[in-house]
Amino acid sequence: MKRIISLIALIGLIVSAYAQTSTLVTLDHNGEQTFFDNVNGLSDAIKAAVDGDKIYLSSGNFVSPSKITMDKAVSIIGNGYDTYILPEIEFNFTEDKTYAAPAFEGVFLEKLSNFSNTNYIHAEITLRTCKIRNFDALYFKSITIDRCYIGVFDNYSGKSCEQVNIMNSKIESFKGGNAEIVGNCNIGEITTSSYKPKSLSSSIVNSASLTSSHDVVMVNCLIGKNTYNGGTDQLILDNCYRLEADAEVLDGNLECTIDLVQKGYLGTDGTQVGVYGGEWMPYTTVPTLPTVDKSASSVTYDAENNQLKVNIKIME
């Protein structure tokens, strides 16, 4: 039944695929859909939404004359990395919020930020199969990042979170964040003079530069280049495999460049380290939504009955 409801909500995506002239935003409120196809459609849909609603986005670039403020527990679900949200998304919750679904799923986000420097975002949120170019100074109560690609994770700046879980994700540059739990990730570099992941397990780290007063524990990790510049912190390695100096273990796409099977290097759960193993494996750029086969789908207008007929073919 849930799958059928999702398919109904995706009708708007089919219509937009054939229109080709604009992006389409579909606001779903208790099974009733409202469509926005103007240039500020996403902003207008958020303003019209209430807590618990879902907003479905077609492929395309979604723009706004200014940053978009999220002050409601509304889930935004896209069509993968070709759903590109250009403006900065700024959270501004002044009271506790509860999400019924991921806050973002299957979208490309330019920047996520927080309105306040001092207050928690009063919500436990999930980001799933998203690409985020800049994750900046968020102050969440709790956040789970699942199968995402992050450019810069820069979450220290005096911020902290009660709980942060980053699993089966790729991170180009990890500049820090307090109380991090990171597992089965591919990380290009860890470089910071402040907060770092407190616990990092079953991951692949191409380069780590440690300079500050926060201990870092790495368990069952594959490590390439590593520098330790002193200070009062400690790098605690438990069953980690370290290559020779200046060795590259990840390429430009954050894919592993050595054969983990031949190395025999497995994570704590018995699977390969990095995004190739773990509970939420595999890493994927495809949202956990039904995928529409556009070539076998059609939208026709019945002039006699003044009806729009939609035929949807779903690829399993």
Axis-axis angle for helices 2-9, 11-19 (nearest 10): 30
Name the E strands within 194-306. 199-201, 204-210, 216-219, 222-228, 235-238, 241-242, 291-292, 298-302
Decide: helix, strand or coil at residue 43: helix
Q: What is the pTM of this model?
A: 0.81
Identify the CA nearest to 55 among candidates 106, 4, 96. Answer: 106
* Residue with the two structure tokens 């089919």: 14
Q: Which pLDDT value is given to residue 50? A: 95
Question: What is Dmax (Cα atoms) for the chain?
Answer: 78
Residues 6+ apart with CB under 8 A from 50: 29, 72, 74
Q: Which pLDDT value is given to residue 29? A: 92
- Cis omega (within 30 of 0) on the bond before 282? yes
Identify whether the C-beta of residue 168 lies closer than 8 Å to the C-beta of residue 147: yes
Measured distance CA(99)–CA(30) in Å, rounded: 15
pLDDT tens string, the chain, 316 residues long: the values are 444 445 544 554 454 444 444 678 999 999 888 988 888 899 999 999 999 999 999 889 998 888 898 989 999 999 889 899 999 998 888 777 888 889 999 999 999 887 665 555 667 889 999 999 988 766 667 788 999 999 988 765 555 556 778 899 999 988 766 556 889 999 998 876 555 566 788 999 998 876 655 567 788 888 888 765 555 455 677 788 877 667 889 999 999 988 876 677 888 778 889 998 887 777 877 776 555 555 555 667 677 777 766 665 545 5
Q: Which pLDDT value is given to residue 291? A: 52
Each residue of 291-309: pLDDT tens digit?
555 555 566 767 777 776 6
Domain residues of the chain, as ranges?
61-290
Measured distance CA(225)–CA(204) in Å, rounded: 11
Identify the CA nearest to 258 among candidates 236, 276, 284. Answer: 276
Q: Give CA separation, 75 vs 26, 242, 298, in Å.
A: 12, 41, 27
Each residue of 43-55: pLDDT tens digit?
999 999 999 999 9
Q: What letters, b where the CB count within 10 A reaches 16 and e where it falls short, cover 61-87?
A: ebebeeebebbebbbbbbbbbebbbeb
Q: How far is CA 181 from the centre of its chain?
A: 16
Identify whether the C-beta of residue 190 lies closer than 8 Å to the C-beta of residue 217: no
Q: Which pLDDT value is given to residue 8? A: 45
Helices (H) and strands (E) in the chain, counts: 4, 29
Chain mean pLDDT for the chain: 77
Cα Rg, the chain, nearest whole Å: 21
Decide: helix, strand or coil at residue 14: helix
Q: Which pLDDT value is given to residue 48? A: 96
Q: Which pLDDT value is given to residue 310? A: 65
